[in-house]
Structure 1
Amino acid sequence: MTLSKPATSPRQLKPLHRVRILSLALNLPGPAAMMRLKSMGATCTKAEPPAKDGNTSGDPMSAYNPAAYDTMHAGIKVARMDLKTEEGQGALHKELARTDVLITSFRPSALEKLGLGWNVLRKRYPALSMVSIVGAPGERAEEPGHDLTYLAEAGLVPGLDLPTTLFADMSGALMSSEAVLQAVLQHKITGKSSFQEVALSDAAHWLALPRSWGLTQAKGMVGGAHAGYRVYPCKNGRGAVAALEPHFAAALCEAAGVRVGAVSSLLKPATHAAIAAFLAGKTRQQLEKLAAEKDIPLHTLAF
């Protein structure tokens, strides 16, 4: 089933027009947040350390994946600053004097060594707000970690396979852009600046809530127990079926020739087997046509 791209509004909202944001955050969460903030109209500048080992950037992401780095930094001014030098500090504070929100991803102790702790900055720049991206909250902010460790802690790494995307980093980026919006709104309403800490471990635990509620556990309705919400093999690939609501489930069962009554019948092994047998006999093309004709949420995939 081919999904069309969402229609874009002819006039996208720009709530951060004229808001100046400076980021010291490297790798993925900070730059991904800046990408979102830029799309909301903010004027974004990123301070990067000097490049090393022949790289074109001081951000490790430029070496890990240049295409990802380029995508996240499109339309964002990148300034090279060595914050361990007097010259770099001077350039940074020149930017801070005209910045509305600062985003960082240093450990708190590293910020203090650079003279960039919140208590110092708030006195020097009363109008400046700060969003600090850390691995874990509060006293745990000094602990080492990355996306994988935060997902593991939240119970989102059930086997030996790596997660299919960087869930903690990307959800942390969204939470960071949300924190910037909160800071801007509060300043507009009260005239006061603010400090907010965004922990990637908190972002992972937020994503894990449906699992902790049992929804995505093996016996959960969207964890494999419901016959209408599963991934089934077909003749030349797979079918991701999301016929959860009664009318969708009824359409799926009717197409498969399965009689169902109450929701409980969709949890029975016999129902699972019947739908699996039906889908196994169809090609991806046949399933896409069926989904369109019967209004069934279904997306086909290659093996």
Structure 2
Amino acid sequence: MFQPLQGLTVVSLAPNVPGPLAAASLRDAGARVVKVEGPAGDPLAQMSPEWYAELHRGIEVRAIDLKTDAGRAELDTLLAGADLLLTSSRPGALARLGLSPERLTRDFPRLCRVTIVGDTRDPEAAGHDLTYQAEAGLIDPAQPAMPRTLVADLTGSREAYAAALGLLLGRERGHAERERVVGLGDAARFAAAPYRVGLTAPGGLLSGAYDNYRLYATADGWVAAAPLEPHFAARWSEALGEDAAAALRTRPTAHWEALAAERDLPLAALAGE
């Protein structure tokens, strides 16, 4: 399989979730990835050992104390042979480690840099996925519940991956740009766009207010149904009649999954029931 980043080296200083996810994407695209971890390691290894192992498969992990002169010298050696540096610390913290944009530009002019921060509006402000989702309106204040996934972290990791590809391609084409900053708060606001424009807000077309895009109770569980397009809607009405909600409650989920497969309808059981 063609791997567009084969022959390139990435050095990552980014722990937790967004950095390892972006690094794993770069690895999968063929890059050699060297992950630098401090003496305490990556918190993700304690929070989710299985996921940590999955994301770091094929990645060289080195324990280096960047608060020491020897550690910073070892990192400089790595950077001298690298094509991309991935970080997820606040700018002030990076500067204290001798990794300011000015110094990196001066000493490693070919090195591309993807800098993941909390929010580009204030890169020094503290935050995490939960706070970014809350600020972006992704948590319902009327019925607050913890998110089932890390929207800002996952979306931010893909933004970081895209930024890396853009920088490396631009460098190969002779462009001078060497750094792009990715904000997790920005990623949460990006993910919240359908709500912001009313598409998934209460009463919106994709909010569950309409029969052709909503959750339905069955005789033994729940299904998600999305017969939006006219050809799907016509088949949906033909199969379930005028009162789809009442019809779906009469049979178990497995029955409706089989019917959906037979009639080519977009319907799925809620996973984890």
TM tier relative to shorter chain: over 0.9
TM-score, normalization by structure 2: 0.96
Q: Aligned residue for 2:173?
A: 189
Deviation at 1:176, TM superposition (A): 0.3
Q: Aligned residue for 2:46?
A: 63
Q: Aligned residue for 1:44?
A: 33
Give, in whole Å, the separation in 1 of the partners of 2:241 and 2:11: 59
Give, in whole Å, the separation in 2 of the partners of 1:76 and 1:18: 14
1:28 partnered with 2:10: no
Q: Aligned residue for 1:288?
A: 257
Q: Aligned residue for 1:144?
A: 126
Q: Aligned residue for 1:263?
A: none
Q: Aligned residue for 1:224?
A: 208
Per-residue deviation, residues 58-113 of structure 1 (Å, max 9, x unmatched)? 10111111111111101100011100001111110010000111011111001111
Report if aligned partners of 1:18, 1:43 keep a CA contact under 8 Å in 2: yes
Q: Secondary structure at the match of 2:210?
A: coil
Give, in whole Å, the separation in 1 of the partners of 2:43 and 2:261: 44
Residue type of the alignment partner of 1:289: A
1:130 partnered with 2:99: no
Give, in whole Å, the separation in 2 of the partners of 1:20 and 1:191: 19
Q: Aligned residue for 2:86?
A: 103
Give, in whole Å, the separation in 2 of the partners of 1:184 and 1:253: 51
1:17 partnered with 2:6: yes
Q: Secondary structure at the match of 2:123?
A: helix
Give, in whole Å, the separation in 1 of the partners of 2:203 and 2:63: 52
Q: Secondary structure at the match of 1:250?
A: helix
Q: Aligned residue for 1:114?
A: 97
Residue type of the alignment partner of 1:83: L
Deviation at 1:257, TM superposition (A): 1.7
Deviation at 1:225, TM superposition (A): 2.1
Deviation at 1:193, TM superposition (A): 4.6
- RMSD of aligned alpha carbons: 1.1
Give, in whole Å, the separation in 1 of the partners of 2:119 and 2:149: 20
1:73 partnered with 2:42: no
Q: Aligned residue for 1:153?
A: 135
Give, in whole Å, the separation in 2 of the partners of 1:212 and 1:245: 23
Residue type of the alignment partner of 2:29: M
Q: Aligned residue for 1:279?
A: 248
Residue type of the alignment partner of 1:291: A
Give, in whole Å, the separation in 2 of the partners of 1:120 and 1:81: 20
Q: Aligned residue for 1:298?
A: 267
Report if aligned partners of 1:226, 1:244 keep a CA contact under 8 Å in 2: no
Give, in whole Å, the separation in 2 of the partners of 1:96 and 1:175: 22
1:162 partnered with 2:131: no
Percent identity, aligned pairs only? 42
Q: Secondary structure at the match of 1:252?
A: helix
Q: Secondary structure at the match of 1:211?
A: helix
Deviation at 1:192, TM superposition (A): 2.9
Deviation at 1:295, TM superposition (A): 0.9
Residue type of the alignment partner of 2:125: E
Q: Aligned residue for 2:162?
A: 178
Deviation at 1:50, TM superposition (A): 0.9
Alignment of 1:81-92 (within 5 A): 81-92=64-75
Deviation at 1:191, TM superposition (A): 5.1
Number of residues of Structure 1 aligned to a counterpart in Structure 2: 270
Report if aligned partners of 1:128, 1:193 keep a CA contact under 8 Å in 2: no
Give, in whole Å, the separation in 2 of the partners of 1:191 and 1:21: 19
Give, in whole Å, the separation in 2 of the partners of 1:220 and 1:247: 21
The runs of at least 4 aligned residues of structure 1 exceeding 6 Å deviation read: none
Residue type of the alignment partner of 1:252: W
- Where structure 1 has 5 or more consecutive residues not aligned to the other structure, the ranges are 1-10, 52-57, 259-273
